[in-house]
Amino acid sequence: MIINFTKMHGLGNDFIVIDDRAFVLKNPARIAMRLLNRRLGIGADQLLVLSHSASGDFHMRIFNPDGSEVEMCGNGIRCLGKFLWDNILDAGSASNHQPVESLSISTKAGIIGISRAGRQYKVDMGEPIFQPDLIPLKVSSVKKSIKDGIVVNHPLKISGTTFNVTCVSMGNPHAVIFVKDADKIVLSQYGPIIENHTIFPNRTNVEFVEVISSKKIKVRVWERGAGETMACGTGASASAVAAALLDHTGRNVVVELPGGNLAINWSAKDNRVYMKGPAETVFTGTIEL
């Protein structure tokens, strides 16, 4: 079987996008493991599978290189949005003169809203989740670190070093750690250990965050099931929320990632997190499965 694909990236966080509205992919987890391999496949951080939705305009499934399926990806949904506008929506609006400027995308994390903002894309990431059993966390292990229902600065000893972890979910779990110099962290050493720590039943994404100012933070991300990535939308959102929560910054910040910057606003009006950033198409092609 030969299928079409589009290679895309959001700040260097790269994806393979497949339009599967005809439902031809029988085992997307296995396909992801093959296609995402950077030596034996196309190569990318994640596979995005577009399909029909009963609750939104479209549905998105997200698969890691290890075949695991995850709930949400902020950079991925911006790329999916660009794919939809470039290949489906704008082409359709040319005939009926009714351009679509906003979409609802159903995911395992719920319905996510996305709109165009000039050459960038704005995503409603939803409300941050702090309740330990919903992140989820092993509640008995973090009980002493729960303050007003939030796990803040939980001490986690990793390879002889103790990190203070603040936990939040943006539809997927995040362990946010504030450090003096993010560049000095050996992510490949600490990331996988924290990702698979027993206090995280479903594993976790890991962010090491350096506070630059009250309006800017620097973040390096270890993504669950994918390893270090150049950018992570949910990770940037979780880091911005944790920074504001701990009074390191205000609610409106620029998040500097290895691949570039994202604008994050944790709105005081509706408690929702809004992310704005770019998405790019790299190339299109076909591959035999």
Catalytic residues: 73, 232
> In this structure, which amino acid lies at residue 230?
M
Measured CA to CA in angstroms, residue 84 lies from 57, 60, 78, 90 at distances of 11, 11, 10, 8
Q: H-helix or E-strand containing 190?
A: helix 187-195
Count the Cβ atoms, other than its own, within 10 Å of residue 280.
14
Token pair listed for 243: 């920074």
Q: How far apart are CA 266 and CA 102, in angstroms?
A: 20
CA distance 54 to 11: 31
Check: CB of residue 77 under 8 Å from CB of residue 233.
yes
Q: How far is CA 242 from the centre of its chain?
A: 16
141 is written with which tokens?
């292990």
